[in-house]
Structure 1
Amino acid sequence: MNDAYGQVAGWFADPANWYGPAGLVERTGVYLWQCFATLALAALVAVPLGLFIGHTGYGRSVMVPVTGALRSLPTLGLLSALSLLLGLGLAAPMAALTVLAVPPILAGVYAGIESVEGELVDASRAIGFTEWEILVQVELPLAAPLIVAGFRSATVQVLATWTVAAYLPVEGLGRYLIDGLAVHDYVRMLAGSVVVIVLELAANGLFAVLGRVVAGRLPTAKNQ
């Protein structure tokens, strides 16, 4: 085991593995772009829908079981099914990972908005706030910790699962795992896994800090 990690350290020390079209820098950049685009597409769907459900309460009885069902979908199975419809390339994994990223963001947004005390919302209406002002100035600041938690969960999931896209002819860090497996290059596979783990830990840490920051501002938001 120590020898394996020593070989991985040697792999990282070799400049040939860092640069070029198949290098670590290029593939990490592509991977991060893929993950960011997936999260952005998921947020475009989940955030407005979550705000509407959380603020109005409409559709909650339907959305809760739907998000639960989407969370249970197998990533590889969904990717395979969509690849038959959309063909090989970027479209199928982008669509599959977006579908899987929507539920945690959606749940975080509508749960955060719903968690705001009804008395506070009623008081805001009584002093003349519009529904939009209540949402933006009252509910969103108080819901921020749960919203951040939803994005945190989605980000970690997307970072972990975009590697499966390498089953299709798609670039990214997953190529180290799939191509390495094809030629029994386990050092390359382990090196790719280490990079993905580091990215996940970094993202998790950043969202943990962000969660503490927004939670620390809650008393100010309440006073406003």
Structure 2
Amino acid sequence: MSVVNDTVDWFADSSHWSGDDGVPHRLVQHLGYTSLTVLIAAAIAIPIGLWIGHTGRLRGLAVVSSGALRALPTLGVLTYASLFTGIGIKAAIFTLVLLAIPPLLAGAYAGLESVDRQTIDAARAVGMTEWQILTKVEVPLALPLIIGGVRSATLQVVATATVAAYVPGPGGLGRYLIDGLALSDYPRVVAGSVVVIVLALALDGMFVLLQRLALRNRPAAVRTTA
């Protein structure tokens, strides 16, 4: 129980709540890396996923590519990226973007594939263009699943970003784990893990609410038939 007590004492120490190594500063860094990573990955994956879901083309390739990216070892990719981009934040962001793309891509094309084909045919029958069908019919109906992809990617990045602290440069909550292990400071390691878990749970709860809100705001006719 000494580690638990020491961890409580670590949180109670005011020096751990201020300065560049304080929890608020590390938390802001972690959220910054996570937000930047998800935004970059979403800008790449979601448009591609929407195109695949709307046209039905290259779906097999998308499934295979997503599976391959999910299988990449985080630490290995981070090491190789450091060799090409240099040790620092660029390598970490590159690695995290690769890991965030699969759930975003899957959420986008799976969301569009879940839309009732009769609804799409009806939209075409009334003269809507393909762009109007995508933006006014498919995306609104697929939004809960698209948000689900963003949710999955965000949680994965929040957890994996701790590994990015393995290379010098990136800060964030991972510094507590990497530096704590290097110094055998286990209360710091446990404290960092607790903060990451709490952050992940808070973000997960936020995305659950967003998904429910998106589902509630779907057209009434679709909700009754879904």
Give the TM-score, by structure 2 length: 0.95
Does residue 184 (structure 1) correspond to residue 189 (structure 2)? The answer is no
Q: Is the 8 A contact 1:142 1:221 kept in 2?
A: no
Q: Is the 8 A contact 1:42 1:102 kept in 2?
A: yes
CA distance in 1 between counterparts of 2:60 and 2:195 reads 40
The residue aligned with 2:15 is 16
Q: What aligned pairs does 1:29-178 form with structure 2 within 5 A after superposition?
A: 29-169=28-168, 170-178=170-178
CA distance in 2 between counterparts of 1:109 and 1:144 reads 8
Q: Is the 8 A contact 1:11 1:191 kept in 2?
A: yes
Shift of 1:221: 6.8
Letter matched to residue 161 of structure 1: T
- Root-mean-square deviation (CA, aligned residues, Å) is 1.2
* Change over 3 Å in CA distance of 1:44–1:89 after alignment to 2: same
CA distance in 1 between counterparts of 2:12 and 2:219 reads 48
The residue aligned with 1:195 is 195
Aligned-residue sequence identity (percent) comes to: 53
SS of the residue corresponding to residue 167 of structure 1 reads coil
CA distance in 2 between counterparts of 1:163 and 1:132 reads 40
The residue aligned with 1:204 is 204
- Give 5+ residue unaligned stretches, structure 1: none
For residues 121-151 of structure 1, give each alpha carbon's deviation from its aligned partner in whole angstroms, at most 9, with x where no partner exists: 1110110111111111110111011111111
Shift of 1:95: 0.3
- Give 5+ residue unaligned stretches, structure 2: none
